[in-house]
């Protein structure tokens, strides 16, 4: 047999082996123009994602006794009780390096935790429904510092920092007037769907799933194939990944340690009550003036913007079902005042005829229907009204612009030099002792 033919067969065999070990197409999650162009985005197959999966124990996972969620007075305690990822990180030099950074920059954690106080309960509930590690509730602290209008230099947006093409793949609509990547509930559902898919892809290894969330499936599978070809370990800690990805998982693990023992890192962690902060309400499909909705419910404009940052023009465009997040303390007032409007008043203010609590799941991604967990929100009867913070004083302000709240922040370890207007609002709302 000619030498060239032998060489060709050998190369084809090697290529086939690499593709089998990779097990997926290459999806880049980077700032490159090619990635942002959806024409380069492969059509992922999410059909193998199992609904409501019960994740089996695997080496390196920490399984803790189950405690009823209602037994935790402070939401941070509930978060720490659901940790699953940290048994293998003790003494790891890369984790220790990140812990040292947090100890030297306690304000970063404090400010991010304060921003997250409006959303954390919702995220934790969704994670528990899917039996996913509660460390993932801290991922927006790493991604966006829990800033719902954060926009990176690579055009990633929202709490979970979705790139435009990835957001579209998970049905996060993006127009001139609305950006679903900033929608608190829909982006959370999309992020957990994506993480569940990655967990399934990498055979139940959450560290590899997190690495792929940061750098893309293709980057991680190529690194695994390379190490397997060389006879090297294929776990996360031994893969030749980009430096950002090598720091990404240790940063999350280090942050989990900080949240569990904040006093050890000189972090003053604001307590958060273990109860829902908002309720999603459906408002039909007609255009709405968000300032009028906020005024009718006596909702502080800044608070209303923080809960509904996806609407870029302070109004909805109508034409399809739409939801707004309303502070639970104000939901009854808003619904009763809407019910008391006359038809003439309702038409003049473009108010909906009726509103209902959002109970349906968001529309599925264009590639497949994902059923890993319910997205039914808490109702006003799920938590005692007396436990909700006192109503905020109404204001005549038209409300802040997204630009005033959403500074372009770096989503790495760069410390936040001073609190933003958002942080000041939250400090005034919750104080040092939480609510």
Identify whether 164 is part of a domain: yes
DSSP reduced 3-state for 324: strand
pLDDT of residue 277: 96
10 Å CB burial of residue 175 (0-12, 13-18, 19+) is: exposed
Provide the token pair at 211.
Answer: 């690495």
| Average pLDDT estimate for 124-133 | 97
Q: Residue 323 falls within a domain, yes or no?
A: yes
pLDDT at 101: 96
Which pLDDT score, from 0 to 100, does residue 350 have? 66
Q: In this prediction, what percent of the chain has a pLDDT beyond 90?
A: 52
Lowest mean pLDDT among 34-43, 111-120, 274-283, 291-300: 34-43
Residue showing tokens 């947006």: 157
Top pLDDT among 148 and 3 is at 148
pLDDT tens for each residue of 41-74 = 222 333 333 333 322 223 333 334 445 566 788 9
Q: Classify residue 417: in a domain, yes or no.
A: no
In a domain, 375, yes or no: yes
Residues belonging to the active site:
143
pLDDT at 282: 85
Higher pLDDT, 283 or 223: 223
| Residue at 1 is within a domain | no
Q: In what order do the strands lie in the sheet with 323-327?
A: 323-327, 278-282, 356-357
User: 268 or 402, which is more confident?
Assistant: 268
Do the domain assignments include residue 217? yes
Tokens standing for residue 101:
């950074």
Instruction: Tell me which of 196, 231, 265 is where a domain ends.
Output: 265
Q: Reduced to 3 states, what is the DSSP secondary structure of residue 325?
A: strand
What's residue 389's pLDDT? 30
270 domain-assigned: no
- Tell me if 227 sits within 8 A of 210, measured CB to CB: no
Residue 323 has pLDDT above 50, yes or no: yes
Same structural domain, 317 and 223: no
How many independent structural domains does the chain possess? 2
CATH at 248: 1.10.530.10
Among 230, 265, 300, the domain boundary falls at 265
User: Both 338 and 246 in a single domain?
Assistant: no
Domain that holds residue 351: 278-407
pTM above threshold 0.85? no
Do 256 and 290 sit in the same domain of this protein?
Answer: no
Q: Name the pairing type of β-strands 278-282 and 323-327.
A: antiparallel
pLDDT on residue 371: 23
């Amino acid at each position: 047999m000619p030498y060239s033919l032998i060489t060709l067969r050998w190369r084809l065999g090697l290529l086939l082996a690499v593709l089998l070990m990779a097990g997926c197409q290459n999806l880049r999650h980077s700032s490159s123009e090619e990635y942002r162009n959806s024409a380069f985005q492969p059509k992922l197959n999410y059909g193998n994602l199992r609904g409501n999966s019960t994740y089996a124990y695997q080496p390196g996972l920490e399984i803790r006794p189950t405690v009823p969620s209602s037994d935790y007075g402070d939401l941070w305690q509930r978060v720490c009780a659901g940790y699953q990822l940290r048994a293998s990180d003790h003494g790891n030099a890369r984790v220790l390096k990140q812990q040292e950074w947090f100890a030297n920059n306690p304000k970063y954690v404090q400010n991010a935790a304060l921003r997250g106080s409006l959303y954390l309960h919702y995220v934790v509930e969704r994670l528990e429904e899917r039996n996913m590690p509660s460390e993932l509730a801290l991922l927006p602290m790493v991604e966006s510092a829990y800033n719902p209008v954060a926009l990176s230099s690579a055009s990633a947006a929202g709490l979970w920092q979705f790139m435009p093409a990835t957001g579209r793949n998970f049905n996060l609509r993006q127009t001139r007037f609305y950006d679903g990547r900033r929608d608190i509930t829909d982006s959370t559902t999309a992020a957990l769907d994506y993480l569940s898919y990655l967990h399934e892809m990498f055979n139940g290894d959450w560290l590899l799933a997190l690495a792929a969330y940061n750098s893309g499936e293709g980057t991680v599978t190529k690194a695994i194939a390379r190490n397997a070809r060389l006879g090297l370990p294929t776990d996360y800690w031994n893969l030749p990944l980009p430096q950002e990805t090598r720091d990404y998982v240790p940063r999350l693990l280090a942050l989990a340690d900080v949240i569990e023992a904040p006093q050890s890192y000189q972090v003053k962690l604001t307590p958060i009550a273990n109860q829902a902060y908002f309720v999603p309400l459906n408002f039909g499909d007609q255009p709405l003036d968000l300032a009028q909705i906020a005024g009718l419910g006596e909702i502080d404009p800044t608070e209303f913007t923080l809960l509904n940052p996806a609407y870029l023009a302070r109004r909805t465009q109508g034409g399809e079902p739409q939801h707004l997040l309303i502070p639970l303390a104000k939901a009854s007032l808003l619904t009763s005042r809407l019910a008391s409007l006359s038809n003439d008043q309702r038409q003049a203010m473009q108010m909906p005829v009726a509103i209902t609590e959002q109970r349906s799941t968001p529309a599925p991604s264009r590639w497949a229907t994902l059923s890993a967990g319910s997205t039914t929100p808490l109702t006003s009867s799920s938590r005692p009204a007396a436990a909700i913070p006192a109503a905020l004083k109404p204001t005549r302000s038209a409300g802040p612009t997204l630009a005033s709240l959403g500074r372009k922040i770096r989503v790495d370890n760069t410390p936040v030099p001073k609190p933003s207007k958002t942080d000041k609002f939250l400090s005034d709302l919750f104080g040092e002792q939480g609510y």
